[in-house]
Amino acid sequence: MSDVKNLEDRFQERIDDEQKIEPRDWMPDKYRQNLIRQISQHAHSEVVGMLPEGNWISRAPSLRRKAILLAKIQDEAGHGLYLYSAAETLGVGRDQLI
| pLDDT tens sequence across 4-60 | 899 999 999 999 999 999 999 999 999 999 999 999 999 999 999 999 999 999 999
**Among residues 49, 36, 38, which one has the least CA distance to residue 78?**
49
Burial of 25 (0-12, 13-18, 19+ CB in 10 A): exposed
**3 part of a folded domain:** no
Find the helix or strand (DSSP H, E) in which 85 lies: helix 63-89
- List the domain range (segments joined by +) for residue 83: 28-97
pTM: 0.84
What is the count of structural domains for the chain? Answer: 1
Q: Kindly state whether residue 11 falls inside one of the protein's structural domains.
A: no
Q: Of 1, 10, 2, which Cα lies nearest the Cα of 28?
A: 10
Question: pLDDT by residue (tens digit) across 20-35?
Answer: 999 999 999 999 999 9
Rounded Cα distance, 81 and 54, in Å: 17
